[in-house]
């Protein structure tokens, strides 16, 4: 990390209305659950509100002014995402309902054309269920085999195992950019290069990475990159699939319906080129307005200074947790995003989460949709704190007091 730079999370925080509210009859909210979903700044809320107040209409085809405005917003957001990711073409950006649907789209469409009996799909042992189950379903349909890169004790990948796992039968290597449970940041550029050297396609799940660092798909060298708007200060219900255009152009439709066709007869249909081929039906236009605004807002931040700030919070949270007797942090890889998952001996995570909540501290408890990863660490669930651009040291002051009190009550 470069030399420490000033970052003002309080100026950022002032742009998020929800962070000034109280819970449980007057307790100030301390939001430490940003890995589940980020809160939304005024700019995003305003963009969504203005769409419905001024421009609400369906996109494409209509001749009236509102439809033209809605189409401009929709396609403008697509172009904004393309620039954000470093895409070579705007047409490489497909809008979906979220990271989960983006991965399912690739598994169903690309997978149906390229994966057959005896082939192999490689993932990692730290994947979210959204980057496991679609590949399991594909393997069940085709007779392919799913394999996983092991995870080391510190929460990082066993890189030494990858070369042997990438074989002449491997068709795709699907990997998470940053773990939602351990916070581990994977060197996806290096992993994609290893795969490409053996002719293996790659998909990167960037859901947890996009809010913490810049993303350049050209530098990464992946074939597909996916994320969700709601992880990047945008609305729920909208996701992004970026794919190399030649791959998208060769893929069959994922769903059928309006907007994804050039011509329909009772005998056959002719499909649109990407990205429309994969966007059947009326899309989440207001969501696109919100995502475009979210990216514009995000680009106003000093991302290097923000990352340093989040890193300091992560280290402090880890220190606070280790002050508790019997505490164990799950995953302490050298490179992490602002996520800390932990267990405390003799304390059930759900009970801990409820007592923290009573004191206004919002955390996440459970398996975080990473059951195989938690099984590797021999735990069934954890309590997780996670940070974003608006998180502050005062949040951790409250967390420290609340954690001490909660543990005392539970022991």
At residue 1, does pLDDT exceed 60? no
Range of the domain at 395: 9-37+302-410
**Residues 154 and 289 occupy one common structural domain:** yes
| Residue 1 lies inside a defined structural domain of this protein | no
Q: Which of 264, 298, 332 is the last residue of a domain?
A: 298
42-64 pLDDT, tens digit each: 999 999 999 999 999 999 988 89
| Interaxial angle between packed helices 303-322 and 393-410, expressed in degrees from 0 to 180 and rounded to the nearest 10 | 20
Query: What span, in angstroms and rounded, lies between the C-alpha atoms of 327 and 32?
Result: 18
Tokens, residue 249: 């152009």
Q: Would residue 369 show up in a list of annotated catalytic residues for this protein?
A: yes
Pull the structure tokens for residue 147: 């394999």
Find the length of the chain. 411
Question: Model confidence over 81-105: pLDDT tens digits?
Answer: 999 999 999 999 999 999 999 999 9
* Total domains, the chain: 2
165 & 70 share domain: yes
| DSSP line for 310-376 | HHHHHHHHHHHHHTSTTEEES---SSB-SEEEEEETTB-HHHHHHHHHHTTEE-EEE-TT-HHHHHH
Report yes or no: 190 and 340 within 8 Å, Cβ to Cβ. Answer: no
Are 97 and 15 within one domain? Answer: no
Can you tell me the distance from the alpha carbon of 137 to that of 143, in angstroms, rounded to the nearest whole number?
10
Kindly state whether residue 149 falls inside one of the protein's structural domains: yes
Residues 245 and 327 occupy one common structural domain: no
Residue 392 is predicted with a pLDDT of 98
Beta-bridge mates of residue 384: 341, 364
* Residue 273: inside a domain: yes
Q: What are the φ/ψ torsions at residue 265 (nearest 5 degrees)?
A: -125, 175
Of 289, 288, 293, whose CA–CA distance to 43 is shortest?
293
User: Across the chain, what does the average pLDDT equal?
Assistant: 97
Q: What value does the mean pLDDT take over residues 291-307?
A: 98
State the average pLDDT over residues 217-241: 98
Q: Is residue 4 in a domain? A: no
Shared domain for 243 and 350, answered yes or no, is no
Cis before 225? omega within 30:
no
Same-domain pairing of 263 and 323: no
Q: Does any domain span residue 251?
A: yes
Last residue of one domain, picked from the residues 298, 321, 344: 298
Residue 85 in any domain: the answer is: yes
d(CA 314, CA 81): 28
Kindly report, residue by residue over 128-152, the tens digit of the pLDDT.
999 999 999 999 999 999 999 999 9
127 with 210, same domain: the answer is: yes
Q: What is the CATH number of the domain that holds 75?
A: 3.40.640.10
Of 234, 265, 298, the residue at which a domain comes to its end is 298
- Same-domain check for residues 175 and 218: yes
Q: What is the pLDDT of residue 6?
A: 87
Residue 317 belongs to a domain with what CATH number? 3.90.1150.10
Kindly state whether residues 79 and 221 are assigned to the same domain: yes
The span from the CA of 271 to the CA of 283, in Å, is 17
Whether residue 3 lies inside any domain: the answer is: no
Decide: 172 and 196 in contact? Cβ < 8 Å. Answer: no
Residue 164 lies in a domain: yes
Residues 182, 320, single domain; the answer is: no
Same domain, 27 and 167: no
Query: CA 349 to CA 365: how far, in whole Å?
Result: 6
Residues 358 and 251 in one domain: no
Mean pLDDT of 97-124: 98
* Catalytic position from the list 192, 222, 369, 383: 369
Burial (CB count <10 Å: 0-12, 13-18, 19+), residue 52? exposed
pLDDT digits 0-9 by tens, 348-369: 999 999 999 999 999 999 999 9
Q: How far is CA 258 from CA 10, 60, 167, 394, in A?
A: 46, 11, 40, 50
Residue 59 and residue 275: Cα distance in Å, rounded? 14
pTM more than 0.95: yes
Token digits of residue 238:
């909208």
pLDDT computed for residue 3 by the predictor:
65
């Amino acid at each position: 990390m470069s030399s420490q730079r000033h970052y003002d999370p309080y100026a950022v925080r002032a742009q998020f209305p929800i962070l000034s509210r109280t819970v449980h009859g007057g307790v100030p909210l301390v939001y430490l659950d940003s890995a589940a979903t980020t809160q939304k700044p005024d700019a995003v809320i305003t963009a969504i509100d203005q769409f419905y107040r001024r421009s609400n209409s369906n996109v494409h085809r209509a001749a009236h002014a509102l439809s033209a405005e809605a189409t401009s917003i929709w396609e403008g957001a697509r172009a904004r995402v393309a620039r954000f990711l470093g895409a070579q073409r705007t047409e490489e950006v497909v809008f979906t309902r979220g990271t989960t649907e983006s991965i399912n789209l690739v598994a169903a469409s690309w997978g149906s054309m390229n994966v057959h009996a005896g082939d192999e799909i490689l993932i990692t042992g730290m994947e979210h269920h959204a980057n496991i189950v679609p590949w399991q379903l594909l393997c069940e349909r085709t007779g392919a085999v799913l394999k996983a890169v092991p995870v080391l004790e510190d929460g990082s990948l066993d890189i030494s195992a990858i070369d042997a796992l990438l074989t002449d039968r491997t068709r795709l290597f699907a990997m998470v950019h940053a773990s939602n449970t351990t916070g581990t940041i994977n060197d996806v550029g290096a992993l994609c290069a290893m795969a490409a050297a053996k002719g293996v396609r790659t998909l990167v799940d960037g859901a947890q990475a996009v809010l913490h660092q810049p993303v350049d798909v050209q530098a990464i060298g992946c074939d597909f990159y996916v994320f969700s708007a709601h992880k990047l200060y945008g609305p729920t219900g909208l996701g992004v699939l970026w794919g190399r255009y030649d791959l998208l152009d060769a893929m069959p439709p994922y769903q059928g319906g309006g907007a994804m066709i050039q011509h329909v007869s009772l005998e056959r249909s002719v499909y649109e080129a990407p990205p429309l081929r994969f966007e059947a039906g009326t899309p989440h236009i207001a969501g696109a307005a919100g995502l475009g605004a979210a990216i514009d807002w995000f680009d106003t931040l000093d991302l290097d200074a923000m990352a340093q700030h989040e890193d300091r919070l992560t280290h402090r949270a880890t220190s606070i947790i280790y002050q508790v007797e019997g505490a164990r942090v799950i995953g302490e890889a050298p490179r992490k995003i602002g996520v800390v998952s932990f267990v405390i001996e003799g304390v059930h995570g759900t009970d801990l989460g409820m007592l923290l909540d009573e004191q206004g501290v919002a955390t996440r408890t459970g398996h975080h949709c990473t059951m195989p990863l938690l099984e590797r660490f021999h735990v069934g669930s954890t309590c997780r704190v996670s940070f974003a651009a608006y998180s502050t040291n005062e949040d951790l002051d409250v967390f420290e007091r609340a954690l001490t009190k909660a543990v005392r009550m539970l022991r």
